[in-house]
Structure 1
Amino acid sequence: MNNWSKLCLALSTFISVQAIAQKPPLNHDVYDSWKSIGTANLAKSGKLVYYTITPQEGDAVLELKDQKNNLLLQVPRGNDGSLTSDDNYFISAIKPLFSAVREAKIKKKKPEEMPKDSLLVYNLKSRNTPLKYADVTSYKLARNSREYVAFLAEYKSSNTVDSISSKDSTTASASVASGKGKGKTKSVLHLLHLPTGDTTNFVGVDQYEWSADEKQLLFSKKGEEKDSISVQNAGLYIYSVADQSLKKISQGRGSYKQFSFSEDQSQLSFVAFKGDEKTLSKEYKLYYYTDVQDSARVIGEQTTSGVPQNWWVSGDAKLHFSADGQKLYLGLAPIPRVKDTTLVEFEHAKLDIWHWKDDYLQPQQLVNLKRDQTKSFPAVIYPQSGASIIPLSDDTFNRVITTDTGNEEWVLVTSDFGNRISSQWDIATASNIYKVSTKTGQNKLIAADLSGQVYLSPNAEYAVLFDRATGTWSSYDLINDLKKPLHEGVAVSFVDEENDVPALPGAYGVAGWSRDGKTVYINDRYDIWALDLVGQKKAYSITNGFGRAHKITFRAQELAREDNPRYRTTYLSDKEQFLTAFNETTKENGFYTVNLGKRTADPKMIVMQPKTFRKVVADANMSQVIYTKEDYQHSPDLYMNSIKMDQERRLTDINTQQAGYNWGTAELVHWTTPNGHDATGILYKPEDFDPNKKYPIIAYFYEKLSQGLYTYQAPAPTPSRLNIPYFVSNGYLVFAPDIAYETGYPGQAAEEYINSGMQHLARTNSFVDSTKMGIQGQSWGGYQVAHLITRTNMYAAAWTGAPVVNMTSAYGGIRWGSGMSRQFQYENTQSRIGQNLWEARDLYIENSPLFFMNRVNTPVVIMHNDQDGAVPWYQGIEMFTALRRLQKPVWLLNYNGDDHNLILRQNRKDIQIREAQFFDHFLKGKPAPVWITSGVPAIHKGIDWGLQ
């Protein structure tokens, strides 16, 4: 290279560095404008793609493009988009302006006065200006939609004419259509004919549903009590689209719901309560209708044969026919006791009675009260051949497993009855597994006290069982009552090889099934195995052991979408099966294919990149695919590609503003811990990183994070975790170490991995300022922060969110979000003590930072909120009062009414500012704000936030 070339290279390098150095760091004002891809859908034809681009706060936009990336339509505030099945029409809701909703909230508008959605209809053949309809509350397309969309709108009117079937939308009532008038709100169901734009309108509609073939529209009208015409019109109607005829199939005011058509659309079922809506105890009845009937008839009620005594038909259980139309699945429920409304409330005690024999703790019962009040238990009826209901379970059972079609005789039910109290300390309670006949209702025990999982084969011929106690998979022949092991002689573990909690390891799960239902595909840590349920073929790896040999985790990727939502079983292709791939060593992600017919063939790589892929969807022909792709430096934009991944087209560029800010990089770090363990973590550096400078560093940790090396992290006011891009952009290094644990010593694990990782970075890199190290963690990470500052003074600042500091008091506490006892967490899961408090008192104390707070010399902020549903907030109080008593620098932030992780965005924004101010002061020497120097007294609450 000559001197001129060297000079040019040096100059260009200088200019490049200067350009980076001139970029401003991120600030707290940028969050709202940062965008993400919301829903993303590909037409079954592969010719159209539509997606939403959503800012963190503000108005989203929906875009519709063709496969060549031509923008066909842009819908400001578009949401919930859909295509008709022939791709001729695009339908989308339009949300109100964010500013309008905000203004309405400021004015404390009632729910019915809040701004409502609009509906957009776009003709893709004519490409004319889209049609728009106001005040829409919902819309529905038939599963096989082509020509119609039905949508419900609400209008205010004082004198609505109840016009059942009017072709002209204005004739339903001029005041209704225009939204004028001051009166009660009226709902109008509009049936829009997409080719002509004509509408048929039905006033006063409550619920509605399409038949899958778009030939019938079903809707109910409640009727107003003081309006005689409205009462007369109340009932359930079927509108025939072909001959434009309307038929009332059930008469009377009340509640009609759970509409369900059979697969061939020839049968219809629903439940209805015909009575006073104010009645506390509503007896729903099951109705059945076919077009040969004049009206729907009751086929199920409290007195129907088969319904248990003091039970009735549930109004909350979804109804569905079996695919062959022979069976109708419904729900039964015990008749609830109701309050005596004649009692004077203030004259009676309000209390909860905790009983030691209760299946579930009283707080757990209260948390699940609404769910339990609507809980039902599956049953079946054969509407064409009999009127008897066959219960499939009762209140001693907790799960019923059916096939997608529901045609088969056998279903599986599980029951943990008798073992529920033990869930207080052992969350993995054992269950009995039964097979139940949908013909007779008789059940038979097929597995007792199973701690694990059970699956039903797609043809209901086999149950597939995983037993945590033995770490094995087995099949149970439901027809011949035979149990067989599935992987004898296979020298591979099918349970979590990295399990580091004091509980039996779980399985890696089911990957899918063969179409004939004779083979189940099971994951191990890396590969996928074919296990023959018949027991005639030896288990083999469909990925040929390639994953384990190369430390690549393969998982089946389901690309084809079923139109019918009831079909949810994953079937692996008997030809080319698409797989996701994750390289455990490099953290790269990508896709492979494997041919299930070639047992000795290795998977074939399609693409592997230092990226993360998400939202993967293919068309019906498996020729086109869309996905988002990201890494730390590139936000997740949407791409379209051929199924072979050789024709990639970028569809979006959502965060172009990022280029104007100092961003960062992410790299893997490896080191050896003091006890000789190989360790891994991620080191984040600023984009304008200068190896000759000294940088403050913050460690953020939660279990293992290195698999996220190629994950994008938007600058956002986070619920609790460290806002990594903000700190990196503002001149910090951030370190995210993986942590492995040893039962009984979770605190020591934090020392082993976090401290040694930080020391390794400082020892091997002159740019790390070992005098300016900080740590941040939330929940389990918050506990580790609290522990570390009692064991070392190497950190200049610490931030802990929702920490457990006293395991002896937290052990007996309640997770108020679920109502569950916290004992299981210490004995079997994350806290990893492995024994109860009375067996391991010393370990509980050793791992409780509270008992060692006198050792703390690190300034620490605690965030713990008074509505924390996971960690009782008195844990944060115990830590604060201890350090305050010891006159250690400590601050406690309680975001009133907020949860374990912050929910309210205004609180998330606030904590970002305070966290930055805190670390800037103690790690960069910047002036401290008022809330740090002197706090904010209660008398100034809501007046002064102390941020200045």
Structure 2
Amino acid sequence: MNKRYPFWLGLAFMFATQLSFAQQKRSLTHADYDGWESLSSDKITKNGQYVGYQISPQDGDSRLEIFSFSRPTQKTVISRGVGFSFTADDAFAVGKIAPQKDSVRVLKLKKKKADDLPKDSLFILQLSTGKLEKLARVKSFATPSEKGSWIAVHFEKDTPAKKDPADSIKTQEKPKKTDGTKLLVRSLNGEKSWEFERVKSYAFAQNGDYLQYVLAEEDTLDNSALHVLNLSTGESKMVLEKMTTYSDLTFSPQSSKFAFVATDDTLKAKKPIHTLYIYDVEKSEMQQTLEKSDVELANGRISGDGAIRFSEDESRMFFGVAQDYQDFDYENDTTILDDERVSLDIWGWQDAEIQPMQLKNKSREEKKTYWSVLDLAAGNVVQLATEEVENLSFENKITHDKALAYSDDAYRRNYSWDIQIGRDLYWVDFKTGEKTLIETDVPGFARLSPEAKYAYWYDSRDSSWMAFDLAEKKKINLTKTLPVPFFEELHDSPSLPGSYGSVGWLEGDAAIVVNDRFDIWKIDPKDPSAAIQLTQGEGRKKNIVFRRERLDFEETSIDPKSPLILSAFNERSKDAGFYSGSWDGKSSPKALLMTANNYNGLTKAKDSDQVLIRRSTYRENPDLYLTDLTLKTLTKASNLNPQQANIKWGNVELISYLTLEGDQLQGLLFKPEGFDPAKKYPMMVYFYERNSDTFHSYRTPAPSRSTINIPYFVSNDYMVFVPDIKYELGLPGQSALNCIVPGVQAVIAKGGVDTDNMAIQGQSWGGYQVAYLITQTNMFKAAGAGAPVVNMTSAYGGIRWGTGMSRMFQYEQTQSRIGGTLWEKPMYYLENSPLFMMDRVQTPVLIMHNDADGSVPWYQGIEMFMALKRLNKPAWLLQYNGEDHNLTQRKNSKDLSVRLSQFFDHYLKGAPAPLWMTEGLPAVEKGKTLKYELSN
């Protein structure tokens, strides 16, 4: 019998159904990546009153959001704004406005020339009034870094006017050739301005008193020139003219001097002769020039490829000299045709560097310069660096009459297999150039204390921090008597463990501040045994890693009256936050903020206590928050990716488990939205060393450069497990097995895993472990291995083409963890090489290895694929042409993302296989089809 319902009840049912449908969340798709936003370039004015940042989608137009610190909801939004900065006077924000990306793409499809494409614009925003000014066709802009309210705007070339057919050809003047364009220099409020034509380059003095600019030649060199503009008077003075190039243009700190290098030799000259000029800005006259004959280096010359620096008191100027050009008979033989010239590389056993590294460093070697110094009062030149000791280490500001120098020549030949070579350490006197040997074979890189009383470094061989008293000429072990280790405690490779870093020096070089694993120490070099633990051991007691937050990025030494703000990270719970401490170490750190979040990017305004900070979890975007040094109240300023609220996101859980060796480790288990342990979910397992500390890190949906995108798979109803791995020396493959399999079993025991549908995926070192695991276990239904090393015997003798280095060091000292040479430990190389066990593999494999890989030899992926093909095992090799170790081109990343999801959906979810898996992609179809279509 039919029942009749009131009309209103039917409407209510329909409305409820529609509301339920509207509230349903959907899974991530590959189409979501382009619009996913990130925040960058967050800045705060020195007075703390204004804040700005850039929001950028992965593919599309960015925007700038600029606002008052006290009114974060009232934002000035600048569409397509990029590359902005606040001016030194805190009054303006300036930046570029990029052309609309879609419009540029349409014009490119129409094959428009680069000159016909839209160009950047410039915006000038007055912060107090909100007044916005825009200038079109801007190539670049600059403002002074320290003070002044000026801007220089360099414009693009004018668009050529279209010819009027009515005009006679004879009356049209031929345009003059020049690389220069118009430069506008003006006060930011627009009250003062100057324009200069055909400008090639320009820059402000850092204090904003002057601007230098170079006029490009127009048809001939006769009108090229270098000028200095006095911004207070508006007077522009020509410094030099008729030069081919002007380089290393540098104002002294107080702008009283202006130095540069120039030559009038043709650009085609193989051996141009350069002159160094020092211009007295205040007197508007050339103070001094240095020619080739004035430098101390035998057969030396002024370098056109060096740099110029001044001491802070402007008494000294540092510049580069180079060996004079060497003549080679064969090179200069004009009777030999280009196609008759021999081209070869000779690898010599006695060479300090192997040929691939020499070729990588060829340009640097050709431009090698040696620091020299000019005493500006006395006028004498002293060469500081030499061929024997060529590396000088300057501090950010040169305030003393000495610097550290080092040479690794005696140890450089070993670098192909020993990346922890030593260096002979010296200190150099600027007055005489005399070098005093501090110590031979020093590990690491030494630095000079702010007051130049000490050289200091971490000695990895002795696991101690060291100092050298330059006055007493005495070496001091700073940490040997202290009751905790200062080496990396979780270090598990054959190399010597590093340190946890230094914090800096207290004023007057009174003490150095260094970190152990958890706590922070203040050590007086004159009495290291009386060191003070600033955090009173609370870090080690509570498993919290304390680190000092640097609030003033311009500091050279630490003011003991300044606040001590500490970041805090709990290694067990992964909670994070901030504490306050004291420089006397008499009180325990006090918690300001400690939550189940990830915090990073703490930035304090230079002249106030206003602070910017980013906070995130797996579910919470790393948005920007506003606070002060008390950290009591965090005000959210940005709102990234509101669309995430409508997407199935899931959660992450911290898992603890025991390895087969009995070690306790942690891992991250990502679970789909609405996870039901009574159901069965397919599970991906991804790994790379240790990742559990990233528990609260946000993971952005993005095309894959090499590995699975975790949010995508979780959103599409996969579980994803990321276990930590602890390695035993000589047993990298077995270590991975001992850690990963028990971790997976621990997750299975919690419920919800479809044990018949699990897969593993990794890239590089992770790709190696994938290849090894599938020779040892069949628990995974599918595997993805990116850039895997499968044959350690052949990879050991290979080259990392990205750097030109031999790969030996990786096996003897670092990640591959064999701990010896191929001839010392041949069985270790064989037993850890999955290639020799490929006949055991029962798991279908998707390999990615690109033909321009500069880290792992491309032939490793080929060896794996060919072995599996020969054994008739299901395997596919993705080779992206011209791509390196990880994909860099977005089009290829998008492609890999699709293929990874199709591959794993097929094996773990039973989805139809795509045609590229069933039919392949024949060479004759390359570039014509992608074969994403699913087979019937």
Q: Is the 8 A contact 1:188 1:204 kept in 2?
A: yes
Tell me the amino acid that sits aligned with residue 782 of structure 1: G
The match for 1:102 is 105
The aligned amino acid for 1:419 is: Y
Distance apart, 1:396 and its partner CA:
4.0
Does the 8 Å CA contact 1:45/1:619 hold for their aligned counterparts?
yes
1:411 alignment counterpart? 403
Q: What amino acid maps onto 1:701 in structure 2?
A: F
Q: 344, 365, 371: which one pairs with 1:351?
A: 344
Cα separation, 2, equivalents of 1:572 and 1:718: 46
Structure 1, 842-851 or 516-525: larger mean CA deviation: 516-525
TM-aligned CA deviation for residue 319 of structure 1: 1.3
Paired AA for residue 331 in structure 1 = G
2:752 aligns with: 767
Q: Does 1:45 align with 2:47?
A: yes
1:385 aligns with 378
Instruction: Give yes or no for contact 1:782–1:801 (8 Å, CA) kept in 2.
Output: yes
| Conservation of the 8 A alpha-carbon contact between 1:257 and 1:272 | yes
5+ unaligned residues in a row in structure 2: which ranges?
1-15, 162-173
User: Could you tell me which residue of structure 1 aligns to residue 931 of structure 2?
Assistant: 946
Q: Which runs of 5+ in 1 are unaligned?
A: 1-13, 160-179
Q: Give the direction of change, closer, same or farther, for the CA distance of 1:883–1:864 in structure 2 (3 Å limit).
A: same
Alignment of 1:1-400 (within 5 A): 22-67=24-69, 68-103=71-106, 105-106=108-109, 114-128=117-131, 130-156=132-158, 186-196=180-190, 198-226=192-220, 231-291=221-281, 293=283, 295-306=285-296, 308-337=297-326, 340=332, 342=334, 343-388=336-381, 390-397=382-389, 399-400=391-392
In the superposition, relative to structure 1, how do residues 21 and 237 fare at CA in structure 2: closer, same or farther (>3 Å)?
Answer: closer
For structure 1, which segment, 930-939 or 707-716, has the greater mean C-alpha deviation from structure 2 after superposition?
930-939
Q: Give the deviation of 1:535 after TM superposition.
A: 3.4
TM-superposed deviation, 1:101: 3.8
Counterpart of 1:430, as a letter, is G
2:753 counterpart letter in structure 1: V
What are the superposed Cα offsets for residues 660-697 of structure 1, whole Å, 9 maximum, x if unpaired? 11001011001112221112100000112122210111
1:447 offset after TM fit, Å? 1.2
Provide the secondary structure at the position in 2 that maps to 1:722: coil
Does the CA contact (< 8 Å) of 1:305 and 1:387 recur in 2?
Answer: no
Q: Measured at CA, do residues 578 and 769 of structure 1 come closer, stay the same or move farther in structure 2, by a change above 3 Å?
A: same
User: Deviations along 1:379-405, whole A, 9 cap, x unmatched?
Assistant: 2111222232x2222244463222333
TM-score computed with the length of structure 1 as normaliser? 0.92
Contact 1:157 1:182 in 2 (8 A): no
Residue matched to 2:469: 477
CA drift at 1:450: 1.6
Map 1:723-738 → 2, pairs under 5 A = 723-738=709-724
1:526 counterpart letter in structure 2: F
The answer for the alignment partner of 1:6 in structure 2 is: none
Counterpart AA for 1:124: L
Written as runs of structure 1 = structure 2, the 5 A alignment for 1:713-728 is 713-728=699-714
Judged with a 3 Å threshold, the aligned counterparts in structure 2 of structure 1 residues 330 and 887 are, in CA distance, closer, same or farther, namely: same
Cα displacement (A) at 1:421:
1.4
Is residue 2:738 matched to residue 1:752?
yes
CA distance, structure 2, for counterparts of residue 318 and residue 52 of structure 1: 33
Match of 1:580 among 564, 567, 572: 567
Q: What is the CA deviation profile of residues 124-154 of structure 1, one whole-angstrom value per residue up to 9, with x for unaligned ones?
A: 34433x2211221211111234432012112
Aligned-CA RMSD value? 2.3
Query: Are 2:874 and 1:889 equivalent residues in the alignment?
Result: yes
* 1:634 aligned residue: 620
Which residue does 1:850 correspond to in 2?
A: 835
Amino acid at match of 1:365: Q
Q: Is the 8 A contact 2:614 2:622 kept in 1?
A: yes
Aligned CA distance change for structure 1 residues 889 and 336 (closer, same or farther; 3 Å): farther
Task: Answer yes or no: is the 8 Å Cα contact 1:558–1:570 preserved in 2.
Answer: no
What CA distance in whole angstroms lies between the structure 1 residues aligned with 2:737 and 2:33?
A: 34
Following TM superposition, by how much is the alpha carbon of 1:494 offset from its aligned partner in structure 2, in angstroms? 0.7
Q: Larger deviation: 410-419 or 211-220?
A: 211-220
Once the two structures are TM-superposed, the CA of residue 193 in structure 1 deviates from its matched residue by 2.3
Preserved contact between residue 445 and residue 457 of structure 2 (Cα < 8 Å):
yes
Letter in 1 for 2:634: E
Note the C-alpha offset of 1:888.
0.5
Cα separation, 2, equivalents of 1:332 and 1:448: 26
Mapped partners of 2:430, 2:83: distance in 1? 38
Query: Which one of 412, 420, 423 corresponds to residue 420 of structure 1?
Result: 412
Q: State the alpha-carbon separation in 2 of the partners of residues 536 and 937 from structure 1.
A: 70
Q: Kindly report which structure 2 residues correspond to 1:377-776, keeping only aligned pairs within 5 A, or say none.
A: 377-388=370-381, 390-397=382-389, 399-535=391-527, 538-562=530-554, 569=556, 571=558, 573-597=560-584, 599-762=585-748, 764-776=749-761
Q: d(CA) in 2 for partners of 1:736 and 1:43?
A: 41
Do the aligned partners of 1:299 and 1:383 also contact (CA within 8 Å) in 2?
Answer: no
From 890, 894, 905, the equivalent of 2:890 is 905
Deviations 1:584-619 (A, max 9, x none): 01111111111102x231111111111112222111
- CA offset at residue 326 of structure 1? 0.8
Secondary structure of 1:204 counterpart: strand
Maintained 8 Å contact 2:176/2:219: no
* Structure 1 residue aligned with 2:170: none
Offset, 1:492 = 0.8
Deviations 1:199-228 (A, max 9, x none): 3111111221212332211111131344xx
Structure 1's 101 and 297: CA in aligned 2 closer, same or farther, altered over 3 A? Answer: farther
Count matched residues: 901
Deviations 1:271-294 (A, max 9, x none): 112221222222222110114655
Task: Name the amino acid aligned to 2:479.
Answer: H
Output the CA distance in 2 between the equivalents of 1:805 and 1:791.
14
Distance 2:716 2:191 in 1: 56
The secondary structure found in structure 1 opposite 2:530 is coil
CA distance in 2, matches of 1:561, 1:502: 35
In 1: Cα distance, 2:697 partner to 2:282 partner: 59
Letter matched to residue 223 of structure 2: N
1:806 maps to 2:799: no
Q: What is the identity, as a one-letter code, of the residue corresponding to 1:383?
A: L
**Whole-Å Cα distance in 2 between the matches of residues 890 and 340 of structure 1?**
54
Kept after mapping to 2: 8 A contact 1:667/1:682: yes
2:822 equivalent to 1:830? no
Matched, 1:929 2:914: yes
